[in-house]
Structure 1
Amino acid sequence: MNKWIAGLYLTSALASVMATPALAQNAEAQSLDEVVVTARRIDERLQDVPISITVYSPEQLAQRNIVTATDLATYTPALTTNQRFGPEKSSFVIRGFTQESGTSPSVGVYFADVVVPRAQGGTTTGNTALPGAFLDLQNVQVLKGPQGTLFGRNTTGGAVLLTPQKPTREFEGHVEGSLGNYDMWRTQAVVNLPLADTLRLRVAVDRMQREGYLKNHSGIGPDDYNDVNYFAGRVSLVADLTDNLENYTIFSANHSFGHGYASRIAQCRPTGGAGAAALLGPLACAQMARQDARGDNLLDVEVNNPKPLVDIRQVQAINTTTWHYSDNLTIKNIVSYAQFQERDSFSLNSENFRVPSGVFAGQPFNYILLNPGPIGANAQQSTFTEELQFQGRAFDDRLDWQAGAYLEVSKPNGWSQGYTGILLSCTDMRQLECINPIGGGTVSAARATTTFNNKGLYTQATYKLTDQFSLTGGIRYTIDKTTGVSENTRIRFRPGAGGVQDMVCNDTLRFQGPGGTPLVVPTPDACHYSLSTKSKKPTWLLGLDYKPSTDMLLYAKWARGYRQGGVNMSNIGLETWGPEKVDTYEAGLKTSFNTPVPTRFNIAGYYNDFRDQQITGALIAKPGAGIAGGTGIINAGKSRLWGIDADASIRLFDGFTLDLGYAYLNTKLQEIEVPVLPADSPFSQIIPTAEVGAPLSFAPKNRVTVTGTYLLPLSADLGDISLGATYVHTDAQNATSPSASPLYRLPATDLLNLNFDWKNVMQKPIDLSIFATNVTNEIYPVAVGSSYTSAGFESVLVGPPRMYGVRLRYRFGG
């Protein structure tokens, strides 16, 4: 706390000194740029929208070196990420609303007004902004609070809107190259082509590669983890079919392929414990001793996975047809189709264990190693969406209204398959080439499909009661259905190198040839079962706006948010969970003025009444169950969340702008009901990731961001040279519950970024940038493995260290 307070004092003092000449300047010579957003599905001034929003322009994204979802969350008050399974698979958290593994997102991510493709796997996957998603954007908008009336998928936390650059009528473009530490290189290119008076095309590509910042000391597998390696491409075409009819088509593709994440063992139980913990706790202590003997820090890991990977592919086509039927009516149709596929191989807790004694002494084995199945992928899904919108005005423009219908159908592209090896040493798990060196090893062979069907009808309208007062009301009715089909098998191995012993179908049916004869493989019918959940819920918005002047808005609103339930067929006894809902009460002020110092200031206070929230529970295996535990989703009970979001932009004098953001968040789990497991369940206990009276996960109480940008007063012949700095403080926050892990609390962080921008170098169409993130090289954990109760040790995932580089852009046309 003292660090960020000191940082604010320093920034304020600097601002005061620099602001001295501002009063003597002509106020008309400086003003803040107007910001246009689409938070209500139409173009509006940021200051006219009664929603708490953080907006980033392309320049701000570049200055902050935002490449992934975790980068965006670093700079946005009230926005964090759950990185339990690595940066590529991270999910957004807004105001404490978290997407747990297997649930639908609590924060909807939209690209060009279309929700990103769905996916369902054994770990959090899909539903997020992939590496390369920030290519050639018009802006990024972070909407805080329930947005369930106007957006296709109801979400309880908020929404992140990625708006791509639309083809223009000018021939223009740029080519850009970047180099940095950890052997980073990145190339981007954009070209805009006016093919005809009524046809225009835009093409953009992005390729980046960077070595991982975690060094692997096991001697097995790659030398580094948490690398970046992706390609992204996009083709956009706009056709003016008539003077009032436009067709806009986008084709995009993303492919991220790297080693994936690794974590570092940071806590162990040397003695005590039962089951797997009795063996693994001491082995983890031995690994920690090796780490200490080498003098390792948090960036050093020891993982014995020979072929790790996270391979994510996504393609999407979006077509938007807009018909301006009249001055008072616009009809828009948005249709999309996308495919998503993910293949993973990672050690869940990143260990390098060796058999301590006996015939196989020294043999490496894994606690939990995830792999794709023999065919297919860990997750593979296709998603179709269709939305028809009507937007209009009436009563001499006193009434703005819109209405629409929404359909989303997401189907499996074959089985989502995964082989999870537990306490085994495998050369090829997919071919079951494994030995059982400690006598308790199994492979969980899971294959499942998940089908989502979501329908919605909505309407929202704003009526000007007077020139100053406006009333907004909206309602949405949503029907959600999720169906899961599973054919899960647990394959048990004989001790030693004896091969497969038997198979267990849904932990009830065993198949073994008599007297050691060849294995009788279960038929699909024997392992096959299905479940579904369905819910029908209304959500709504009721708000009152007051505009005493053009540049001031006061608002108050009540919004109901809702998130559907779901299924996860691998969680025995906890295969389904129900929907959650939240009532949000929010009041805010937005104001801007140009004299004497141009300023934009927005603040909002809110209270959330949160019920039936979906959280993860760690599943503790019964002794002798032959499994290593697991996770399940439960509806936890009731929580309350309240806080304040504030941001300001100040042009202290010509050339110097100060951007400030602050979020205060107070969360508390008030009630919880842990479900009772059936008597025949292989699990004995559920430990939720939150406790009554404790704050929710990934919900820091205070977050402060301060960015200063100074355009140097130099000769125009040199170009435009600016210096920028961003400071971000984040309070300590829970990553799980105290009962689930002794390392449940993530420490506070203070990050500093610097950038140098030189645009129009010597009046040439060349831009030069030098950037550095995490300048003080703060090494900090971002998530925990939550394996302490089941395995006797704990691992932590670590955020990126200092990164720096140089970027050169050549612009043409325009």
Structure 2
Amino acid sequence: MSFTAFEAQAQDSDAQGNAPAATEAHSSHTIEDIIVTARRREESLQEVPVAITALSGQALEQKGVRAVEDLRQSVPGLNISGQRRDEASFYLRGQGPGIFNTGQRNFTSVATYFAEVPTDIAGPGMFFDLANVQVLKGPQGTLFGRNTTGGAVLFEPQRPTGVIEGHAKATIGNYDRREFEAVLNVPVIEDFLAVRLAANIAKRDGFTKNVVTGQDMDNRDYKAYRASVLLTPTDGFESLTIIDGLHKDQNGTSAILRQINSNMPIAAALAPYLERQKELGVRRTMIPTLLYDEQYNFGITNKTSWDVTDTITLKNIISVRKSRIDRGSDYDGTPIPTFLYENATLPRKWQTGQEQLTEEFQVQGRIPGLNTSYILGFYHELSKPGFPQELRQHLFGTITVRNLDARDESNAVFAHVETDLTDRLQVSGGFRYTWDKREASISVSDTQGNCTQRVPTGTGPITCPFSADAKFKAPSYDATVRYKLSDDAQIYAAYRHGYKSGGVNLPSPAPEFTRFEPEFVDEYEIGLKADWNVGFPLRTNLALFLDKYKDIQISQPVVIPNVAIQSLVRNAAEATNKGVEFETTLEPVDNLLINGFASYLDAHSDVTVPGTAAVKGRQTAFQPKWKYGFGIHYTVPTAESFGRLSVAADYSWQGRANTNELAANLITTYPGYSLVNARIELADVAQSGIDLSVFATNLTNKAYILGGFPLGGAIGFESALYGEPRMYGLSAKFRFGN
């Protein structure tokens, strides 16, 4: 087997710097290449010595990806779990969203970015008019805004181009699905001003019936838009402004009671409902009240770059984002108010929200005489709710009103350097130092507004609000050696040290429990990225990694003498995570493209922590050991006057995953499952610019668990959130322009 210089057919960026469109699968001897921004500049996916899975906008459409949970079917090592549908709760390499403190911002181990800016918005309404989605694996603290120890998911929107182009697409399907998407790109002033407008509107009935209220749950109803304006007044200077918005007004997420803990007092009350739920099945629930999930998001991002000289570029990224949420949640799925949150009560409109300002300045440069390139930068982020937050919680029939406030500030300086020692050998490294400051407060009262919060817990005076703050600082750094075996293949070895901020417990039972510390990870990775010629094009990307993960933040019951047992976030665990991630693409014959992936993850705690899921040697929760999948795309030879007929199918499988519960007499895993999707498309029908397609997802109608509320010793029940049933439909897309 030998390397050759067969071209991967990467499509060059256009004169405006637009990320390339996907290479058409029916072209002979081509493997799609994608331009990624893993090192904060545009590079070929195959050139970057980092484990990345990238899906082009065309690939996302072909695979039917419309929400974050759909990504798990195409990305090795990536898993999704959560308590509500549409949440971006990503898990990578044994790390996940971390501890969730209601009313405070969650510092996840796997951050999401839109147009290079951190954002929590990644559900339906995001997957339209995208250039690509990139999943970066491992710590990403030295070059990206938010410190992450597990990875990052980047959503890159299409940029305005220098031609008139666009499309209009309509989709209908079962559960009365109706979706419309439109894109219009106009070069208003040639080589000076271009505008791109995009919108996506979708409605779909729910697939879970509430037998108590009659409400259809798990429906879809949103409107999303983007307006991008690109200014290029002179050579070497450009300013891109992106305005995006989303309004979602849905019926909320269902909860299906799965099991109860017979050792808990609540068991007797829930037992009849568990039997009733088994009779109802997984597509009906018994939630006692109407729930709604309304969300509003708005953002403005500006990215300006200036080539000061041939070797120095200044880049600035500034963004403001705003979100508002009103969302009711029932966690047990029974008529008993065991644990639920009400929707906001009039005249209040919203429960929680976030207003975020980010500012990032970079100096990107080259030192030709030393074959060196570099990036120097500063990052600032400020986040706060922007209005008084209030949540009404039912816990075993008692209603409490929680007023919450928070303020998070992060500042960092960073540097990254790459040096080509020879034509084939490159060394690179980065360093970042971060200062985080977190402030939060909570007041708990009854429905009449009387404060019921005692601090210290149970013994102290009535205190509203209880406030706490903490400061953290730490370095992040990495080093990579890359060797090019040929123009089409490279091997690399990398070391990365990552950091994730600590936080505060509210209210704190005692001063020593108020603050919890940061997490740290040391990762070692070796990888291969290669394009081969074995008589046909073959791509193989392989990564092996070992992570030493320490000071892990977990919820741990703490005994307060003579008072109570309270669940608090503590740094109480260490873990070793190791695994393999593999991706391949080949075109064995003309018009047939095959891709596949597989991943293995061994992620377990190195210590046993009583009362928690951190049991020595046990696989980390929500992350199966094995995942694999493959897809085929065949273009049927037809006359050009007829159109391009293609058939595609995808299969994915993942093994069982642990939950956070330990008791051996209870179900402690989510079962493994497989999913099959299919699509038939006739593109450019009779050279009209019209594409017609029929599609189906979850073709075998598998009932699989996407997430839920795992059984906890303090609650006594477990509910599950099930993935979508079989979905099918057809779409028509009219393209014009380029």
TM-score (normalizing by structure 1) = 0.82
Q: Does 1:310 align with 2:293?
A: yes
2:737 matched to which residue of 1? 813
Question: Structure 1 residues 180, 621: closer, same or farther in 2, change over 3 A?
Answer: farther
The residue number in structure 2 matching 1:298 is 282
Q: Is the 8 A contact 1:571 1:631 kept in 2?
A: no
Whole-angstrom distance in 1 between the partners of 2:482 and 2:90: 29
State the 1:150 CA deviation.
Answer: 0.5
Matched, 1:129 2:122: yes
* Structure 1 CA distance for aligned equivalents of residues 344 and 454 of structure 2: 20
Query: Following the alignment from structure 1 to structure 2, what is the Cα–Cα distance between the partners of residues 570 and 226?
Result: 33
> Would the aligned equivalents of 2:583 and 2:598 in 1 still touch at CA under 8 Å?
yes
Amino acid aligned to 1:582? V
8 A contact 2:410–2:434 mirrored in 1:
yes
Q: How far apart are residue 370 of structure 1 and its match?
A: 3.9
Matched, 1:213 2:193: no
- Quick check: 1:663–1:704 contact (8 Å CA) kept in 2? yes
CA distance in 2, matches of 1:737, 1:767: 49
CA distance in structure 2 between the aligned counterparts of 1:419 and 1:740, rounded to whole angstroms: 34
Q: Answer whether contact 2:476 2:498 (CA < 8 A) is retained.
A: yes
Is this contact kept in 2: 1:615–1:634, CA < 8 A?
A: yes
Instruction: Identify which of 93, 96, 103 aligns with 1:95.
Output: 93
- Asked if structure 1 preserves the Cα contact closer than 8 Å seen for 2:261 and 2:666, the reply is no
1:265 to 250, 253, 257: 257
Matched position secondary structure for 2:267 = helix
Q: Match of 2:687? A: 763
- TM-aligned CA deviation for residue 788 of structure 1: 5.1
Partner of 1:666: 602
1:717 is paired with a residue of what secondary structure?
A: coil
Contact between 1:304 and 1:366, CA under 8 Å: does it hold in 2?
no
Residue in 2 that maps onto 1:803: 727
1:651 to 576, 583, 587: 587
- Alignment partner, residue 578 of structure 1: 517
What is the identity, as a one-letter code, of the residue corresponding to 1:60? Answer: A
Distance in 2 (alpha carbons) for counterparts of 1:734 and 1:565: 25
Instruction: Provide the C-alpha distance between the structure 2 equivalents of 1:413 and 1:501, rounded to a whole number of angstroms.
Output: 22
Deviation at 1:548, TM superposition (A): 2.1
Residue 550 of structure 2 corresponds to 611
1:266–1:288 Cα contact (<8 Å) kept: yes
Partner letter of residue 216 of structure 1? Answer: N
Between 793-802 and 562-571, the greater mean CA deviation after superposition: 562-571
Shift of 1:167: 0.4
Would the aligned equivalents of 1:340 and 1:380 in 2 still touch at CA under 8 Å?
yes
**Residue aligned with 2:58, SS:** helix
Contact 1:188–1:206, Cα closer than 8 Å, also in 2: yes
**What's the counterpart of residue 780 of structure 1?**
704
CA distance in structure 2 between the partners assigned to 1:765 and 1:466 by the alignment: 48
Distance (whole Å) between structure 1 residues aligned to residue 176 and residue 27 of structure 2: 46
Matches of 1:259 and 1:400, distance apart in 2: 51
Matched residue, 1:449: 405
1:640 partnered with 2:576: yes
Q: 2: distance between equivalents of 1:601 and 1:509?
A: 56
Larger displacement relative to structure 2 (75-84 or 370-379): 370-379
Structure showing greater Rg: 1
Which residue does the alignment assign to 2:193?
A: 199
Q: How far did residue 210 of structure 1 move?
A: 1.3
Contact 2:457 2:507 in 1 (8 A): no
Note the aligned Cα RMSD (angstroms). Answer: 2.5
Cα 1:570–1:386, aligned 2, differ >3 Å: closer, same or farther?
same
Amino acid at match of 2:59: Q
Picking from 592, 614, 618, the partner of 2:531 is 592
Which structure shows the bigger proportion of residues in helix conformation? 1
Matched, 1:504 2:507: no
User: Shift in Å at residue 594 of structure 1?
Assistant: 4.4
Would the aligned equivalents of 1:69 and 1:128 in 2 still touch at CA under 8 Å?
Answer: no
Unaligned runs of 5+ in 1: 1-26, 117-126, 354-364, 425-441, 492-499, 511-521, 675-686
Cα separation, 2, equivalents of 1:643 and 1:546: 22
Correspondence 1:115 to 2:52: no
Q: Please state whether the residue corresponding to 2:280 is helix, strand or coil.
A: coil
Alpha-carbon offset, residue 391 of structure 1: 0.9
**Match of 2:275?**
289
Change beyond 3 A, Cα 1:486–1:740: farther
- Are the structure 2 counterparts of residues 576 and 259 from structure 1 closer, same or farther at C-alpha, using a change threshold of 3 Å? farther
| Matched letter for residue 329 of structure 1 | I
Q: Counterpart of 2:475?
A: 538
* Deviation of 1:330 (Å): 0.9
CA change 1:502–1:572 in 2 (3 A) is same
Matched residue SS, 2:86:
helix
Q: CA deviation at 1:382?
A: 0.7
State how far apart, in whole Å, the 2-side matches of 1:643 and 1:415 are: 44
Cα 1:580–1:416 change in 2 (3 A) is: same
Quick check: 1:655–1:710 contact (8 Å CA) kept in 2? yes
The equivalent position to 2:237 in structure 1, one of 245, 256, 277, is 245
Aligned residue number for residue 429 of structure 2: 473
1:347 is matched with 330
Q: CA deviation at 1:62?
A: 0.9
Shift of 1:689: 3.5
Residue 545 of structure 1 and its aligned partner are, at CA, apart by: 0.7
Change (3 A) 1:73 1:618: farther
Query: Would you say how many aligned residue pairs link Structure 1 and Structure 2?
Result: 703
Paired residue for 1:437?
none
Which residue of the partner structure matches residue 167 of structure 1? 160
Q: Structure 1 residues 367, 33: CA separation in 2 closer, same or farther (over 3 Å shift)? A: closer
Matched with 1:122 is none
**Of 81, 86, 108, which aligns to 1:105?**
108
The answer to whether structure 1 residue 372 and structure 2 residue 364 are counterparts is: no
Gaps of 5+ in 2: 1-25
Q: Which letter does structure 1 place at the counterpart of 2:195?
A: L
Q: 2:292 corresponds to which letter in structure 1? A: L
The code of the aligned residue for 2:635 comes to: L
2:506 counterpart SS class: coil
Name the aligned partner's letter for residue 340 of structure 2: I
Given residue 416 of structure 1, which amino acid in structure 2 is its aligned partner?
A: Q
Q: Is 1:328 aligned to residue 276 of structure 2?
A: no
Partner residue, 1:228: 220
1:741–1:173 Cα change, 3 Å = farther
Q: 1:463-499, CA deviations, whole angstroms, 9 ceiling, x for partnerless residues? A: 11111111111101111111112222256xxxxxxxx
CA offsets 1:367-420 (integer angstroms, 9 cap, x no match): 434443663633212110110111111134711111111111112212221010
Distance 1:180 1:413, change over 3 A: same
Change (3 A) 1:179 1:618: farther
Alignment partner of 2:142: what SS? coil
Query: Which one-letter code corresponds to 1:704 in the other structure?
Result: Y
Alignment partners' CA distance in 1, 2:427 and 2:372: 10
Does the residue aligned with 2:452 lie in a helix, a strand or coil?
strand
Deviation per CA, 1:130-158, whole angstroms, max 9, x where unpaired?
A: 32111210011100111111001110110
Q: What is the DSSP-based 3-state SS (H/G/I as helix, E as strand, rest coil) of the residue aligned with 1:98? A: coil
User: Are residues 793 and 128 of structure 1, via their aligned partners in 2, closer, same or farther at CA, if it must alter by over 3 Å?
Assistant: same
In 1: Cα distance, 2:719 partner to 2:182 partner: 40
Report the Cα distance in structure 1 between the residues aligned to 2:146 and 2:457, rounded to whole angstroms: 39
2:444 and 2:451 in contact (8 A); partners too: no
Whether the aligned pair in 2 keeps the contact of 1:371 and 1:420 (CA below 8 Å) is no
- 8 Å CA contact retained: 2:443, 2:451: no
2:464 counterpart residue number = 527
Deviation at 1:634, TM superposition (A): 2.4
Q: 1:267: how far off?
A: 1.7
Equivalent position SS for 1:743: coil
For 2:207, give the aligned amino acid: Y
